[in-house]
Amino acid sequence: MAEVTAVSSSATHSFGKPNRPAITLLAGLGVEGDAHSGATVKHRSRVRRDPSRPNLRQVHLVHAELHAELAAAGFDVDAGQLGENVTTRGVDLLGLPTGTRLRLGADAVVEVTGLRNPCYQIDDFQPGLLKQVVGRDTGGEIVRKAGVMAIVLVGGEVRPGDAIVVEAPPQPHSPLVPV
């Protein structure tokens, strides 16, 4: 079963986000009270480039399976520490096509907009971590494993243990690219 394993938010632009018993998603904005919530870009680097651009990074989702993979490589990373708002289990987030809708719990619906492209700050958290979440496949293509970004279509409360329902967009599917 696909499920939410943790939810996290932070009112400041800190790298990690503390876990919460619940978060509230707001349609068109993101996570209530989170520093990255808003209709226009909130990530500092994007604000510097063009603060009027739409916020395609309202909600950050990371698969718990990544935490297990990092632990096997000797890193200690818990839910929320990579800056994610929603930690999932049982969903191949990185394999979803652009536009996939995820129903989180009873009411909330998010639409996947693209891949998170982690920056050097991840090595400030734990040296060497960037190489674990960004690499190359056997064909030399860049592989990003630090989760996906989404926008909120329908608001609602999300809690650990909530079910996740995956709804693929109509064909043809477009692969995820960094946003």
* 65-78 pLDDT per residue, tens: 999 999 999 999 99
pTM of the model: 0.96
What is the Cα–Cα distance from 76 to 50, expressed in whole angstroms?
35
Helix (H, G, I), strand (E, B), or coil: what is residue 157? Answer: strand
45 pLDDT band, cuts 50/70/90, is confident
Give 117-166 pLDDT, tens digit per residue. Answer: 988 889 999 999 999 999 999 999 999 999 999 999 999 999 999 999 99
Q: What is the pLDDT of residue 46?
A: 83
In words, the CATH class of domain 3-167 is: mainly beta
Query: Could you tell me which residues come within 8 angstroms of residue 16 by beta carbon, excluding any fewer than 6 positions away?
Result: 8, 10, 80, 81, 82, 83, 125
What is the Cα–Cα distance from 176 to 100, expressed in whole angstroms?
10
Using a 10 angstrom Cβ sphere, with 0-12 exposed, 13-18 middle and 19 or more buried, the burial of residue 78 is middle
> In the predicted model, what is the mean pLDDT of residues 98-126?
95
What is the Cα–Cα distance from 155 to 104, expressed in whole angstroms?
10
Assess whether pLDDT exceeds 90 at residue 47: no
Give 73-97 pLDDT, tens digit per residue. Answer: 999 999 999 999 999 999 999 999 9
Q: Mean pLDDT over all residues of the chain?
A: 96
